[in-house]
Every structure is written in C-alpha cells, then in structure tokens.
Chains A and B, each alone.
Chain A
Amino acid sequence: MRYFLLNIILALTWAMLNGEINSGNIIAGFIIGYIILYVAQRALGAPPYFGKISRLIQFVAFFSVELVKSNIKVASDVLTKHNYMKPRIIAVPLDAKTDAEITLLANLISLTPGSLSLDVSNDKKVIYVHVMYAEDADAAKREIKNGLERWVLKLFSSDKKDRLS
C-alpha cells in the first residue's frame, strides 16, 4: 500500500513538473514512477507491490478478452434464430475463503456473460451459478475453478505469501 501511495505521489509530481495535470501526464508519471520504484526496491526492501501490479494487469487483460468473447457469443445467440443454449444451475465448490475473495469471485462470475452467480451457501463452501452454455456440467465447473477462481486467489494470496517470506 505504501508503495502504491509513493507511486501516486511520483505520478502527481511528474504531472506538476510538466506544468499541466492531465490524463496523459498522470499515466506517464505513473509508469515512470513505477520504473523508479522498481529500480529502488532493493534499497527500500522488496515489497509485494510489484508482483501484484503486474498480476493485476495480466488479470485485467485476461478478463477483457473473456468479456469480449462471451459477449459476442451471447449477442449471436440473441440475434440469430438458432439457439445453442444449454442452461444449468451448477454448484461450484469454493476454495476462496474470505468474504472479499468470494464477493469478487461472485461479481466476476456475474460479469462474464453466460454465467450468473445466484447464491452462496450459508457456510460459504459452495457457490451456485446459472450457466448458459454447459453441455457438460463438470467441464463448466472446471472452467470457473481454473479460470476465474484461480485468478482471484492469485490476486489475494500474494499478500500473505510475501508477508511470510
């Protein structure tokens, strides 16, 4: 968190030194600040921040691609006469433990078209998902577990692991 604040301060400094605060300057400042912090991290003590940011960027890229792909799929289903819908309600066992992880996972599941999280069981062990294209229930479960949940766990887990080491 400290590094994120430092990075923002560096970005603002860069923008101010350029004499104008606009989106281009702030983004350039952020990137330059990131590089400076990356170079300086040995002196400051290696933080979990750098792995996290790059993982976040990877995740955003992965999620955008998924979003576009599945939106096109749903759109084609709505617009054409054929439908390939194979809806099911599936129970996906959760590896995510904390509330924040489960909330993020449920939100992401709902945001990708073709899957909609309906409810989480009271003991937080299973999430019930309505999926639109699931010829094989197990394959659909695996897709959620290996795709989105793995990413969510990765995004959160880095914190604890780095703190321990």
Chain B
Amino acid sequence: MFWDILSKILILIGGFFMFVAALGVLRMPDLYMRLHANTKSATFGIGFLLLGAAVHFGEFAISIRALSILLFLFATAPVAAHMIGRAAYIAKSPLWGGTLSDDLAGKYDKKTHELTAEIEEPKAAKKN
C-alpha cells in the first residue's frame, strides 16, 4: 500500500516536471533559456518517472535498468545541450534583450571557431 502510493507520487512529480519542461520551451524568450528548461527539467522529470517505475515493480532487474537509464541520461543530456548551445552561439542565435552581459562576445575566431580565453582580470592583464 505504502509503496503503491509512493510510486504514484513519484510518477506524478515526474510528469509535472516533464510538463514544466515542455511549457518552458514555449515560454522562454531565447534559445539558451529554452535549452535550460529543456535539458534539466526533462532529465529531472524522467528521473522521477524511472524511480516511480522502479518502486512500482520492486524487482532487482527493473531497478537496475532504471538506474542505468538514469546514469546514461545524466551523462549524455548535458553533452547534447552543450553542443546545441555552442552551435547556436556560433550561428549567432540572438540573446534575449534582457541579457545583462555576454563574456563570450568576440571570443570566437570567425574562421576556425577556436575559442580564446582572455579574462579581464588584473593577473591576466599583467602578463599581456
């Protein structure tokens, strides 16, 4: 009885975060923030759904599978987000008007897309 309720609660929380992720894609003002909503809330939501499934079945084989899906998701989702974000920045996808500052501006080499690291700090300035 207790495990039944627990698995239902977990699945509901998971569904809620998936919904938030989908809504975030619609509501966020620029690509980068859409990525925010999408990668995190979605992995979080899937995590809860899988936990709910593992609790519901309560079997070793299924729990292990749920756990490994979760591990792979946690390892791969940020990589995808990083590649999409980088590609978007190089393709000059516009930042939202409310963005306060952009340290990346002008750091990419236009042809090779190599990224320099000039930090505007006293230490770095002295070297130059």
Contact = CB atoms under 8 A, between A and B. Distances in A.
A111 interface: yes
Interface string A7-48: 000000000000001110010000000000000000000000
Q: Is the interface of B mostly helix, strand, loop or mixed?
A: helix
Contacts of B77: 110-111
B33 A132 contact: yes
B65 to A, nearest CB: 12
A128 B99 CA distance: 15
B101 A137 contact: yes
B119 interface: yes
Question: What is the size category of the interface that chain A forms with chain B?
Answer: 35 or more
Interface of B: 16-17, 20, 23-24, 27-30, 32-33, 35-37, 39-41, 43-44, 59-60, 63-64, 74-75, 77-79, 81-82, 85-86, 89, 95-96, 98-105, 107, 114-117, 119, 121
Interface of A: 21-23, 26, 67, 70-71, 74-75, 78-79, 85-91, 93, 106-114, 116-123, 125-126, 128, 130, 132, 134-135, 137
15 contacts: A22-B59, A78-B24, A78-B41, A87-B98, A93-B119, A107-B78, A108-B78, A111-B74, A111-B77, A116-B32, A119-B85, A119-B115, A120-B115, A134-B100, A137-B100
